Amino acid sequence: MALKLSTPLKNTIVNSVITAIAGTIGTSGTANVKVYTGTQPSDADAAATGSLICTIAGIGYEASTNGSCRMSGTAGDGTKTGTASSDGTAGWACIETITSAGTMRIDGSVGTAMTSTFWIDSTVVTAGHVVELYDSFLQ
């Protein structure tokens, strides 16, 4: 028999994760999206792989209403940005924050398509380029 969760339970779980990662629900989040070169690690507890290209700070998420959520204040308008610290091709990204409980991190795909976990303006980045994070969708 398959395990099935009700939508209110999914929302509670997702909102708890958002609060743990971003510190709050809404636009004033405290999480960072970090964009790396190379291949995504096997799990979110593994050490980051590749080189860090860019950090985008102040990430928050909207409250979950259907078992998933999107980044606050973006909806495809590119309002979250960070300046690239080095050249490279984005291979994966994560959202993370460091708390007294440890480093909270969610790894995901990065790309120029809306289907990426972290949707950015370009995967080929040069130092000094302003990387735009269009959206991030967690479910």
Is residue 86 included in any domain, yes or no?
A: yes
State the pLDDT confidence band at 22, using cuts at 50, 70 and 90: confident
- The number of domains in the chain is 1
Domain of residue 96 covers: 7-138
pTM of the model: 0.88
Average pLDDT score, the chain: 88
Sheet strands (E) in the chain: 31-36, 52-59, 69-70, 80-83, 88-89, 92-99, 102-108, 110-111, 118-120, 124-125, 130-138
Is residue 92 included in any domain, yes or no?
A: yes
Is residue 2 included in any domain, yes or no?
A: no
